[in-house]
Structures are given as structure tokens and as C-alpha cells.
Amino acid sequence: MKKKKYKVTFLFDKKNLWFEKYFIKNDFKLNYKYIFKISKNQNKVVDQDIVFPLSYTKVLSKKFLKKNNLVLIVHPSKLPKDKGHAPIQHQILKNKKKIHISLIKAEERPDSGHIYLQDFFDLNGSELFSEIRQMQAKKYLSIIKKFLIKFPKVSFKLQRGESSFNKRRGPEHSELNIHKTIKQQFNNLRINDNEFYPSFFYYKENKYIIKIYKDSKMKK
């Protein structure tokens, strides 16, 4: 008698696909245990054993959560701290260098669910946006695989302690202060996306765009 294969869907948001390029290169090598699917349409995801909404920006309705057995969110903070928007950016602006990753059950209230796994990665303070994203993606894949290997023999813990909630960051938050030094604003420079929300400043009634890159010729 064949063992049951669990149905797993990875749900992507069409408006926030940064993680997709890392994900499609990955192979969990767990096809003996799971039937994997990828979707970009929430309405078509039903009757799944596990759903991973990845960097998903839309609200997951109570109806959606009920249509699937277990919906799991990967959130880059040590919950209950730094719930909400842009948690890594907000932590870097607070000079934090240890970035935690929490795998939690999705609930109607954002980032409030039980914690299944937590991990972290370290920053040294020199990484730019693209490098931070790469490290984040690597840890996302790692924590998802750890869970899939353990499932269904998994346990969770409640979120405990004081919580905090971050506000959404918009393009206006990439503005630099011309009266401050580069060193004073380096964290702001390094978390800004050169393509979608680059750093900028205003001077003499003009807006100037700043994009930052590392010199690849310099020895590491």
C-alpha cells in the first residue's frame, strides 16, 4: 500500500516576486513525501495539506485559511518583535545584526500565529540590499525544508513577550538628509533597492537619485 503524499502549494504574490528567482533554483528532494505545486492565484489554492504564502502582501482571508489544512508564513523577525511591514529594514535601521526568521501559522491577525521553527542569520554591517535578500532567501529555503522533513511530527510554541509592529515603508523613506554624513546614513543606503526604491535627496529644487554598489574589483 502506497503511503499518502501530502499536497503542498507555494503561493506567490505577483506584485512581490523577489523570492521566486531563488525558489525556482531550489530542489527540496522530498518528492517521495509531497506533491508540490506553485501558484500565483489565491483563489485556486484549496484542499492543500500545507500552503506557504511566500513574501505575500495580500491579506489572507478566514475563508482561505479554512479551505486549507495548514497555512504557514515565513516572517523575518524574532516574533513577537517586529511584526508587520519591512521587518529586516526596520531592524537594520535599529543597528541590529542578528536577523531571526520565524515560521508561523497564518492567522487572521497578521504575524500572530503559533511558532513552529525559528532560525537566524548574521550581518556584519557591510551588506547591501541584494546581498541581504540573498541571505534572507537562503534562510527561508532552509527553514521551509526543515519543517517539511519533520512534518507531520511537528510541534509549536506560543508567541510570548512584548510585541512590536512596524509601519509600511514607502519610496519616501529612501530619502537621505544632505546635512548628515554618508556614515550616519549608511544603513538607510544599504537597505534601499537600486531598482524599485533607490536612495535620493533634494537639492536646489532638484531630486537626485543615488544607487549604491560594491566595487567587485576590491579584495574581500
- Render pLDDT for 122-174 as a digit per residue (tens, 0 to 9): 999 999 999 999 999 999 999 999 999 999 999 999 999 999 999 999 999 99
Could you write out the DSSP letters of every residue in 134-171? Answer: HHHHHHHHHHHHHHHHHTTS---B---S---EEPPP-G
Question: Residue 83 pLDDT more than 60?
Answer: yes
Contact (Cβ atoms closer than 8 angstroms) between residue 89 and residue 70? no
Lowest mean pLDDT: which of 55-59, 93-97, 157-161, 185-189? 55-59
Q: What is the pLDDT of residues 39-72, one digit of tens each?
A: 999 999 999 999 999 988 888 899 999 999 999 9
Q: What φ, ψ does residue 104 adopt, rounded to 5°?
A: -130, 160
Domains and CATH numbers, the chain: 6-166 (3.40.50.170), 171-210 (no CATH)
Question: Residue 96 pLDDT more than 70?
Answer: yes
Question: Residue 220 pLDDT more than 60?
Answer: no
Q: What is the pLDDT of residue 219?
A: 60
Q: What is the pLDDT of residues 192-214, one digit of tens each?
A: 999 999 999 999 999 999 999 99
State the pTM of this model.
0.92
117, β-bridge pairs: 103
Give mean pLDDT, residues 115-122: 98
Measured in residues, the chain has a length of 220
What average pLDDT is seen over the chain? 94
Cis peptide, bond prior to residue 76, ω within 30 of zero: no
Q: Which of 206, 132, 208 is nearest to 175 (CA)?
A: 208
Work out the pLDDT band at 217, boundaries 50, 70, 90: confident
Q: What is the pLDDT of residue 216?
A: 81
Q: Find where cell 485556486 sits.
A: 44
